């Protein structure tokens, strides 16, 4: 049967077509009952407000590789997708929409506002899931969970109640990250630190009844209204005699003690720091240690409150300017100097967060951390790369209690009910149950806590809620939990190892008595050519959908993993203006190579069939006697490649997997074996042999498609159906991966072929060094003392002639150099290229000698420049490095030119 194989691969012609086909036939759906061996992955839930970025491309591609690979190993696989309700981000979107209508959430009231958020979610939310589908990911979309779904909400409520009843959830006053813009507490993960240039002020705190003063360093002069002490380090000899004395807070006039505390850093500023427990987390701890008063001076909206006196109502930064001016006027400002430090900013609103003393709900983490540390130490949960284990253990050992309340309306409302006077409260499913737990008459009026839970409080149950776990003391198991928990792999960014990974381990061990996943793969951070993390805020991140549109999904997927070694960051040149990532050419060129080799093989098969319509499956295989050394070599390489690919994926070295695929397909198969097939096909006119040869080559190519499918699903599916070698109605996704056959692995023949390749490449280098035209065929002599090598090379003489553009090849044991030949040695094998007549030797000698002189002059000049201390000291580091690289390049060129001249002599 003749098949149509288009001349070029057009990604857009097949991507949507095959994805729709996969979804229509539900080939990725599972009920957990398809086989005895299961494999599962949890998709980190993207925000309902999210849009695709390059981190998603890498993360989702990695997950899809493992899902597709294990499906092709015959396992019953399930990839659980989902979406996070993203409390602050989503509420901000809806509030912005209301603002355009001239409304606020308070105008609507809580119930109506939440209804509007649901409406927004149904209309605009989840765009990212449609964008993820563009990546060709093979998850079971029917299992998509939204963190606000009823089953998830119920589980989250039950967990809160249990922890409350056990005393592990409590309400307390702590310093938290406060967003003045969103008017809510923030988790640590929602705060990003940026380097900020400000001023460090040195203030004069006068001793009581004295003209002497202590110099105190601070950045935040506006918080002096909350000062309750000045701290010095107990080991700082400069201030030991001052400990216990009192000083007066400038402007405020408050008398405060000088205390000794390790918090004071002798290297920071003057070594003396003011203590403001209501406005700094470290100061808060100092205040607790020394039983100091807490004075709050800032409102929820980051304006100063009445404790700031005449500055009340001013924005915190305006107040800083005004207070600093007043200090200068009163001669209480010793000095102001430039100071660069890190400041936390809200990821959502973009404003600097305010360390704020607030009454919030907390989870006591130490009791939960012990088992979570143990399962990682014991290797039940494995981290890749393994160095993250130490980071995890360090953080978990010193873990702090978790602030879980948020002052929002969108999210899981805290299931705590209070009496009207606020003196009694408890956690319960409803007010009736709350009355019962507090021994109050049924029907007593209660008020539910207005706050909602931190989004991470729903996400830490993700391994359980995705499988519809019901934590009600009666039904804790579901078919999905039985089949797929614990999951096999979690792929995530390392920056949420504490906020999500650690908490999921804690929650699963605590509530389900089982680890949530066996392996955690921490992805690379993607950076631009300058080393900056790709981000919208920096404006250095092209839209991945534009890149996919330009290069195709397969090319984008392949390039991402080809460039992303385990534990190292990816560096990619990006062009935001042109919306381009040029390195994706790697993947596009590779896809074209795969396509073109398949097209060539099918064309040669059709040529071998002639006018006959032959089922390829009925073509007789080549006998062992008919197999050439080249055939046996590619068969051996194919089988050793399978082993290498499996090992790299088992070891989570996915970039190694991509490079093994690339080297085998591009070099061994396409550049070498397909070219050898041309020679063998041309030199044997037997129709039967040609048919068998093409069947053999296409069988290898089929295996290549199967190996390649997990990372490049669309092109492999398209070619699979063009070839129609097997059941064309079946997706390649559902085929079995090729298995390595030890009987076909032959290390000796692989070694011999590696030698053949080196010989060919050396002849090509010799020709190029003398600028010999590719069309010019020249005699080549290859000499070796090893009779086995001579015999092998004689078998390959036709292929050697083809690759080396030679009209005559002599394989000999004599190492005598022919007259006028260019010579080289590879692994004790002498190579002689007879260039007589191909080049003008006297003219070439003259050209090379002139080039040697030029290079030596340039090298001497460059060496003088780099030995000049003034140049090295005054020039920028970049210019100096460029000169060094230029010198190295010229030295390498000189060595090559001298070698070429030596060959001519």
What is the separation of C-alpha 198 from the centre of its chain, rounded to a whole number of angstroms?
A: 33
> What is the phi/psi pair of residue 741, to 5°?
-110, 110
Residue 692 has pLDDT above 60, yes or no: yes
Q: Does residue 796 have a cis peptide bond before it, meaning omega lies within 30 degrees of 0? A: no
The whole-number pLDDT of residue 773 equals: 83
Token couple for 188: 């640590």
Task: List the 184-186 sheet strands across, edge first.
Answer: 184-186, 169-179, 354-363, 402-403
Residue 148 has pLDDT above 80, yes or no: yes
Q: Which helix (H) or strand (E) holds 851?
A: helix 841-867
What is the separation of C-alpha 691 from the centre of its chain, rounded to a whole number of angstroms?
A: 46
Q: How many beta carbons lie within 10 A of that of residue 301, not counting itself? A: 11
Token couple for 795: 């078998």
- CA dist 149 and 451 (Å) reads 19
Q: Count CA atoms closer than 13 A to 217's CA, side-chain side.
A: 15
Winning range, highest mean pLDDT, from 528-537, 750-759, 850-859:
750-759
Instruction: Look at the block and give the residue holding tokens 């989702």.
Output: 60
Q: How many beta carbons lie within 10 A of that of residue 262, not counting itself? A: 11
Sign, CA torsion 98/100/104/107: negative
Name the residue among 407, 341, 353 with its Cα closest to residue 190. Answer: 353
Contact call for residues 468 and 497 (beta carbons, < 8 A): no
The H-assigned helical ranges of 671-773 are 674-683, 687-708, 713-723, 747-769
Q: What is the pLDDT of residues 262-316, one digit of tens each?
A: 999 998 899 999 999 999 989 999 999 999 999 999 998 999 999 999 999 999 9
Residue 869 has pLDDT above 90, yes or no: no
Which residues pair with residue 492 across a beta bridge?
522
Residue 474 has pLDDT above 50, yes or no: no
Residue 724 has pLDDT above 80, yes or no: no
- CA dist 770 and 479 (Å) reads 71
Residue 537 has pLDDT above 70, yes or no: no
- CA dist 798 and 130 (Å) reads 54
- 3-state SS, 439-478, equals CCCCCCCEEECCCEECHHHHHCCHHHHCCCCCCCCCCCCC
Average pLDDT of the residues in 845-872: 85
- Give the Å distances, CA to CA, from 316 to 223, 457, 547: 9, 31, 44
Sign, CA torsion 213/214/215/218: negative
The whole-number pLDDT of residue 126 equals: 85
- CA dist 264 and 232 (Å) reads 5
Give the DSSP letter of residue 623. P
Average pLDDT of the residues in 554-580: 89
Residue 837 has pLDDT above 90, yes or no: no
- CA dist 81 and 78 (Å) reads 9
- CA dist 342 and 260 (Å) reads 26
Q: How many beta carbons lie within 10 A of that of residue 329, not counting itself? A: 9
Residue 190 has pLDDT above 80, yes or no: no
> What is the phi/psi pair of residue 519, to 5°?
-130, 145
Token couple for 161: 């109640």
CB-based contacts of 723, cutoff 8 Å, min separation 6: 3, 598, 602, 698, 702
Contact call for residues 205 and 359 (beta carbons, < 8 A): no
The whole-number pLDDT of residue 673 equals: 96
Name the band, by pLDDT with cuts 50, 70 and 90, for residue 451.
very high
DSSP assignment of 245-271: -EEE-TTT--EEEEEE-TTS-TTSTTS
Q: What is the pLDDT of residues 311-367, one digit of tens each?
A: 999 999 999 999 999 999 999 999 999 999 899 998 777 889 999 888 999 999 999
Name the residue among 455, 453, 473, 463 with its Cα closest to residue 506. Answer: 463
CB-based contacts of 64, cutoff 8 Å, min separation 6: 79, 135, 136, 137, 138, 557, 710, 713
The whole-number pLDDT of residue 467 equals: 92
Residue 41 has pLDDT above 80, yes or no: yes
The whole-number pLDDT of residue 829 equals: 86
Q: Does residue 385 have a cis peptide bond before it, meaning omega lies within 30 degrees of 0? A: yes
- CA dist 578 and 546 (Å) reads 10
What is the separation of C-alpha 89 from the centre of its chain, rounded to a whole number of angstroms?
A: 22
- CA dist 290 and 288 (Å) reads 5
The whole-number pLDDT of residue 410 equals: 95
Q: Could you tell me if residue 169 is left (phi over 0), alpha (psi between -120 and 50 degrees) or otherwise beta? A: beta
Q: What is the pLDDT of residues 216-231, one digit of tens each?
A: 999 999 999 999 999 9
Name the residue among 400, 469, 427 with its Cα closest to residue 164. Answer: 427
Give the DSSP letter of residue 353. P
Average pLDDT of the residues in 773-789: 88
- CA dist 176 and 186 (Å) reads 7
Contact call for residues 711 and 58 (beta carbons, < 8 A): no
Gyration radius from the chain CA atoms? 36
Residue 726 has pLDDT above 60, yes or no: no
**513 vs 126, higher pLDDT:** 513
Q: What is the pLDDT of residues 698-719, one digit of tens each?
A: 999 999 999 999 999 999 999 9
Contact call for residues 164 and 416 (beta carbons, < 8 A): yes
Calculated CA dihedral for residues 542, 548, 551, 553, nearest 10 degrees: 140
Name the residue among 404, 403, 405, 397 with its Cα closest to residue 366. Answer: 397
- Give the Å distances, CA to CA, from 428 to 50, 362, 679: 33, 17, 80
- CA dist 129 and 48 (Å) reads 9
- CA dist 360 and 97 (Å) reads 29
Name the residue among 385, 383, 384, 362 with its Cα closest to residue 373. Answer: 383
Token couple for 695: 């069947």
Lowest mean pLDDT among 85-89, 102-106, 237-241: 85-89
Mean pLDDT of the chain: 91
Q: Mapping DSSP to helix (H, G, I), strand (E, B) and coil, where does residue 291 land?
A: coil
- Give the Å distances, CA to CA, from 827 to 406, 750, 781: 70, 15, 15
Residue 1 has pLDDT above 60, yes or no: no
CA angle 293, 282, 503 (to 5 degrees): 120
Q: Which helix (H) or strand (E) holds 184?
A: strand 184-186
Contact call for residues 261 and 290 (beta carbons, < 8 A): yes
- CA dist 696 and 106 (Å) reads 73
What is the separation of C-alpha 852 from the centre of its chain, rounded to a whole number of angstroms?
A: 48
Which residues pair with residue 277 across a beta bridge?
none
pTM over 0.75: yes
The whole-number pLDDT of residue 735 equals: 93
Q: Go through the chain and tell me how many residues it has.
A: 905
CA angle 40, 46, 49 (to 5 degrees): 155
Report strand pairing: 38-42 vs 76-80: parallel
Q: Could you tell me if residue 603 is left (phi over 0), alpha (psi between -120 and 50 degrees) or otherwise beta? A: alpha
Average pLDDT of the residues in 9-26: 94
- CA dist 708 and 594 (Å) reads 10
């Amino acid at each position: 049967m003749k098949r149509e194989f288009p001349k070029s691969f057009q990604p857009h012609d097949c991507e949507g077509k095959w994805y729709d086909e996969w979804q229509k036939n539900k080939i990725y759906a599972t009920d957990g009952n398809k086989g005895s061996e299961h494999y599962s992955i949890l998709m980190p839930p993207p925000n309902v407000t999210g849009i695709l970025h390059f981190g998603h491309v890498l993360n989702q591609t990695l997950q899809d590789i493992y899902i597709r690979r294990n499906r092709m190993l015959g396992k019953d696989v399930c990839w659980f997708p989902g979406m996070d309700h993203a409390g602050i981000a989503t509420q901000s979107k809806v509030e912005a929409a209301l603002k355009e209508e001239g409304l606020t959430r308070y105008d609507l009231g809580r119930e109506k506002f939440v209804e509007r958020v649901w409406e927004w979610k149904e209309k605009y939310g989840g765009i990212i899931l449609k964008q993820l589908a563009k990546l060709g990911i093979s998850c079971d979309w029917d299992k998509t969970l939204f963190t606000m779904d009823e089953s998830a909400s119920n589980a989250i409520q039950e967990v809160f109640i249990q922890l409350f009843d056990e005393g592990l959830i409590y309400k307390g006053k702590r310093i938290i990250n406060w967003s003045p813009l969103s008017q809510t507490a923030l988790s640590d993960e929602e705060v990003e630190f940026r380097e900020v240039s400000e001023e460090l002020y040195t203030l004069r705190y006068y001793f009581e009844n004295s003209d002497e003063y202590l110099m105190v360093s601070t950045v935040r002069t506006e918080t002096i209204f909350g000062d309750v002490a000045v701290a010095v380090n107990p080991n700082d000899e400069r201030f030991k005699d001052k400990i216990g004395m009192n000083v007066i807070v400038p402007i405020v006039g408050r008398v405060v003690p000088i205390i000794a505390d390790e918090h004071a850093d002798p290297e920071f500023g003057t070594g003396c720091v003011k203590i403001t427990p209501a406005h700094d987390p470290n100061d808060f701890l100092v205040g607790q240690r020394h039983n100091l008063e807490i004075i709050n001076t800032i409102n929820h909206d980051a304006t100063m409150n009445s404790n700031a006196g005449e500055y009340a109502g001013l924005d915190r930064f305006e107040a800083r300017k005004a207070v600093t001016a007043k200090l200068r006027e009163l001669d209480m400002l010793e000095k102001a100097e430039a100071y660069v430090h890190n400041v936390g900013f809200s990821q959502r609103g973009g404003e600097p967060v305010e360390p704020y003393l607030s009454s919030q709900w907390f989870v006591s983490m130490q009791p939960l951390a012990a088992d979570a540390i143990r399962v990682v130490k014991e290797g039940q949960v494995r981290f890749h790369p393994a160095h993250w284990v130490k980071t995890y253990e360090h953080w978990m050992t010193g873990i702090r209690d978790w602030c879980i309340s948020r002052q929002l309306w969108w999210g899981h409302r805290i299931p705590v009910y209070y009496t009207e006077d606020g003196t009694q409260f408890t956690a319960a499913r409803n007010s009736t149950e709350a009355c019962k737990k507090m021994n109050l008459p049924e029907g007593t009026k209660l008020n539910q806590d207005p706050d909602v839970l931190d989004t991470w409080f729903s996400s830490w149950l993700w391994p359980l809620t995705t499988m519809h776990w019901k934590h009600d003391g009666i039904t804790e198991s579901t078919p999905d939990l039985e089949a797929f928990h614990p999951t096999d792999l979690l792929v995530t960014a390392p920056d949420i190892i504490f906020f999500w990974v650690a908490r999921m381990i804690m929650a699963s061990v605590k509530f389900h008595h089982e680890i949530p996943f066996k392996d955690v793969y921490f992805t690379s951070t993607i950076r631009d050519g300058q080393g900056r993390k790709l981000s919208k805020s920096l404006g250095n991140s092209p839209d991945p959908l534009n890149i996919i549109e330009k290069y195709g999904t397969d090319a984008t997927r392949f390039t991402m993993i080809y460039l992303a070694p385990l534990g190292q960051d990816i560096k990619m040149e990006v062009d935001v203006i042109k919306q381009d990532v040029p390195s994706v050419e790697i993947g596009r060129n590779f896809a074209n190579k795969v396509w073109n080799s398949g097209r060539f093989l099918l064309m040669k098969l059709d040529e071998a069939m002639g006018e006959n319509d032959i089922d390829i499956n009925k073509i007789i295989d080549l006998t062992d006697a008919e197999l050439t050394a080249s055939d046996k070599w590619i068969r051996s390489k194919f089988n050793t490649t399978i082993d290498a690919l499996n090992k790299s994926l088992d070891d989570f070295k996915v970039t190694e997997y991509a490079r093994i695929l690339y080297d085998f397909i591009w070099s061994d198969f396409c550049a070498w074996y397909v070219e050898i097939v041309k020679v063998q096909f041309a030199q044997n006119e037997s129709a039967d042999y040609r048919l068998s040869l093409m069947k053999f080559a296409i069988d290898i190519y089929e295996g290549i498609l199967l190996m390649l499918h997990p990372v490049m699903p669309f092109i492999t599916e398209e070619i699979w159906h063009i070839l129609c070698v097997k059941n064309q109605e079946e997706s390649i996704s559902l085929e079995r991966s090729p298995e390595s056959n030890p009987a076909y692995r032959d290390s000796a023949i692989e070694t011999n072929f590696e030698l053949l390749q080196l010989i060919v490449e050396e002849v090509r280098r010799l020709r190029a060094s003398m600028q010999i035209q590719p069309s010019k065929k020249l005699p080549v002599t290859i000499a070796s003392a090893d009779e086995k090598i001579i015999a092998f090379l004689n078998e390959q003489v036709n292929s050697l002639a083809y690759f080396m553009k030679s009209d005559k090849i002599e394989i000999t044991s004599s190492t005598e150099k022919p007259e006028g030949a260019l010579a080289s040695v590879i692994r004790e094998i002498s190579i002689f290229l007879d260039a007589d007549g191909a080049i003008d030797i006297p003219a070439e000698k003259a050209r090379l000698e002139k080039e040697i002189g030029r290079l030596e002059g340039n090298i001497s000049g460059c060496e003088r420049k780099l030995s000049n201390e003034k140049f090295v000291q005054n020039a920028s580091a970049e210019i100096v490095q460029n000169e060094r690289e230029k010198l190295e390049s010229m030295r390498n060129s000189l060595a090559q030119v001298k070698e070429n001249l030596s060959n001519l002599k």
